[in-house]
Amino acid sequence: MRYVVRKSIVEVVGEIWMPYGTVCATTYTLSGYDVENCRNDNGQITRDSVERWVGMHSGDFSSVRDFRASLEDGDETVDIPWASEEGELAFVDCTASVE
């Protein structure tokens, strides 16, 4: 038997409050309720509507530099890429393990 688990995630990079200005990253796993709140007034999931959700749910950050999202919308996956290569590199820098 095989199970497929589909998760909606948003990866965020930005500056945290304390110590002020330190760049950090996190990954949010969204519930079905969260995904519904990522929709715009027309019921679409767009970069702007997800950015609004991120702004309201990322209180650990004093400012958000960039984000990417992979959201499960019914049978489809909505992928929203990083806005810039610098945002993606900052996320990788924060989450890369040191050996």
Name the β-bridge partners of 97.
none
Predicted pLDDT at 4: 85
pLDDT confidence bin for 94, thresholds 50/70/90:
very high
Q: What's the confidence (pLDDT) of residue 96?
A: 86
75: nearest Cα among 6, 24, 12, 18: 6
DSSP 8-state assignment for residue 96:
P
Mean pLDDT for the stretch of residues 65-84:
96
Q: Where are the domains of the chain?
A: 8-93
- Reported confidence tier of residue 99, pLDDT bands at 50, 70, 90: low
> Which contiguous run of DSSP H or E holds residue 73?
strand 61-73
The DSSP bridge partners found for residue 13 are 25, 66
pLDDT at 20 over 90: no
Q: Residue 25's pLDDT is what?
A: 96
- Give the confidence band of 21 by pLDDT, cuts at 50, 70, 90: confident
* pLDDT bracket for residue 98 (50, 70, 90): low
